Amino acid sequence: MSRLFGTDGVRGLAGLDITAESALALAQGAALVLGRSARQEARRPVAVVARDPRISGEFITAAVSAGLASSGVDVLDAGVIPTPAAAYLVASIGADFGVMISASHNPAPDNGIKFFAAGGRKLPDAVEDEIEAALGGAPLRPIGAEVGTVRRFSDAEDRYLVHLLGTLDVSLAGLHVALDCAHGAAAGPSPRAFADAGAKVTVMGNDPDGVNINREVGSTHLEQLRALVVSSGADLGIAHDGDADRCLAIDAEGNVVDGDQIMAILALATKRRGLLADDTLVATVMSNLGLKVAMDAHGIHLVQTKVGDRYVLEALGEYGLSLGGEQSGHIIFSDHATTGDGILTGLQLAAEMVRTGKGLGELASVMQVYPQVLINVTGVDRLGLRGNQPIADAVARAEAELGDRGRVLLRPSGTEKIVRVMVEADEHHVAQTIADELADLVRSELTVSA
């Protein structure tokens, strides 16, 4: 039996995989598990519920709120706000848990339900499994005055903005920022945050209609933002995804600055200010080799985790570290946030430009991006990768050939019949040749017959 929760909550096609009935039942299970501490203290649990602007979020929010309130949970409906805002508010007001309804960078027909524990932190697998197990049992059935309430969290966005601006030590006056809000949850707070910080702001992707979220805009579609930065003469561009937990950037010349480069810039900035805990940065194994080379050159240790921001978060907490993230643009400042925050990241990146007086392109040049080739080999036995000697031998030969000029990573998909072959080298043709050879070998060794 497959697990209901994926790497980031429960996600699927709204109306088919995620229905009003399943959302209500999931909320009732969450109320049973996540509201336990409050009930043990003889008080009513409180939950913050928020969503991104996709159209299905309205019926899912209604179902989740009904499931929680019918289980004796008081619901604070924060409306459309970014995922990191929801996490922040759970921690800020001392709520027992939070629910974010979003499918992040996915297209509008998809949606998802993710939970935050007290303190605004993502749930460990064991707690998700407990919620899933609770779906087969009887929900809580309070009556009368014990039934939960549903109220509007009217100042949710304002509280979040005050928090964001409180992380800045400089004004952004004199800086021209182009923002792509992906027709998502960033459309309200991101322009306000940058304008309130003093920047001149030019905005696109800020007209959500419920069905246009992430459509040819945002962090997965940078073409329009690149054009806007150049045509408007902006100093930099910031691209969010649908729930605003990501940030990618564009420099004044229209060049993409990805999550690895952003981490490099911010790690050096944070170290210089004495705020980089243990002079250590956390990234995943998919981060470019150039990030490690740059960090080594500046005396910063790099801890690498499995792919997924939850593993970055775990490492930050386990080792007491302050900065980490992913190439995709999930950047986590653990002193200020419990999850990736695209608006916070964009503000801090702009602030470093002001502090140094340097353009984004110059700041990004601290890291050489090694050519990276990624091939998804489909229709293969992903579980057969481990223990396959011919593939292991080929990887060893490739690593010996590359030496310290590159690296090889073969990674099975967590859910599909796919093996991802990633090769980095100091020259693109070298990376491409090795990746093609390894992909062909994976195909020949692990292809699943029809």
Q: Are residues 145 and 174 in the same domain?
A: no
Q: Are residues 402 and 431 in the same domain?
A: yes
Read off the CATH number of the domain in which 52 is found: 3.40.120.10
Q: Are residues 136 and 31 in the same domain?
A: yes
Q: How many domains does the chain have?
A: 3
**161 occurs within a structural domain:** no
From the candidates 104, 190, 287, 322, give the one annotated as an active-site residue.
Answer: 104
Count CA within 13 A, CB hemisphere, residue 331.
Answer: 26
**313 occurs within a structural domain:** yes
Partners of 97 in the beta sheet? 47, 117
Name the residue range of residue 432's domain: 372-446
Residue type, 209: D
Q: How far is CA 159 from CA 78, 153, 163, 341, 349, in A?
A: 11, 10, 6, 15, 22
Residue 104 marked ligand-binding: yes
Q: What is the distance, to the nearest Å, from the Cα of residue 395 to the centroid of all Cα atoms in its chain?
A: 30
The last residue of one of the domains, among 364, 398, 422, is: 364
Q: Are residues 329 and 206 in the same domain?
A: yes
Nearest to 364 by CA among 218, 254, 235, 263: 263
Nearest to 217 by CA among 196, 187, 175: 187
**5 occurs within a structural domain:** no
Q: Are residues 263 and 240 in the same domain?
A: yes
**40 occurs within a structural domain:** yes
Sign of CA dihedral 399, 401, 403, 406: negative
Q: Are residues 209 and 141 in the same domain?
A: no
The one-digit pLDDT tens for each residue of the chain (450 residues) are: 468 888 788 999 999 999 999 999 999 999 999 999 999 999 999 999 999 999 999 999 999 999 999 999 999 999 999 999 999 999 999 999 999 999 999 999 999 999 999 999 999 989 999 999 999 889 999 999 999 999 999 999 999 999 999 999 999 999 999 999 999 999 999 999 999 999 999 999 999 999 999 999 999 999 999 999 999 999 999 999 999 999 999 999 999 999 999 999 999 999 999 999 999 999 999 899 999 999 999 999 999 998 888 899 999 999 999 999 999 999 999 999 999 999 999 999 999 999 999 999 999 999 999 999 999 999 999 889 988 999 999 999 999 999 988 999 998 876 678 999 999 998 999 999 999 999 999 999 999 765
Q: Are residues 308 and 418 in the same domain?
A: no
Q: Give the number of other Cβ atoms within 10 Å of residue 93's Cβ.
A: 14
Residue 245 marked ligand-binding: yes
> Quick check: 320 and 222 in contact, CB under 8 A?
no
User: Is residue 2 classed exposed, middle or buried when 0-12, 13-18 and 19+ CB atoms within 10 A define those classes?
Assistant: exposed
Q: Are residues 174 and 314 in the same domain?
A: yes
**403 occurs within a structural domain:** yes
Q: Are residues 32 and 151 in the same domain?
A: yes
**271 occurs within a structural domain:** yes
Residue 241 marked ligand-binding: yes
Q: Are residues 148 and 294 in the same domain?
A: no
What confidence score (pLDDT) does residue 337 get?
96
Distance, in Å, from the CA atom of 329 to the CA atom of 225, rounded to the nearest integer, reads 16
Residue 129 marked ligand-binding: no
> Quick check: 362 and 415 in contact, CB under 8 A?
no
> Quick check: 29 and 131 in contact, CB under 8 A?
yes
**Residue 231 bears catalytic tag:** no
**435 occurs within a structural domain:** yes
Q: Are residues 387 and 269 in the same domain?
A: no
The last residue of one of the domains, among 304, 331, 364, is: 364
Q: Are residues 146 and 192 in the same domain?
A: no
What confidence score (pLDDT) does residue 450 get?
54
Tokens 């998909």 belong to which residue? 413
The last residue of one of the domains, among 344, 364, 384, is: 364
What confidence score (pLDDT) does residue 351 get?
98
Residues in the chain: 450
What is the three-class DSSP state of 232? helix
Read off the CATH number of the domain in which 380 is found: 3.30.310.50
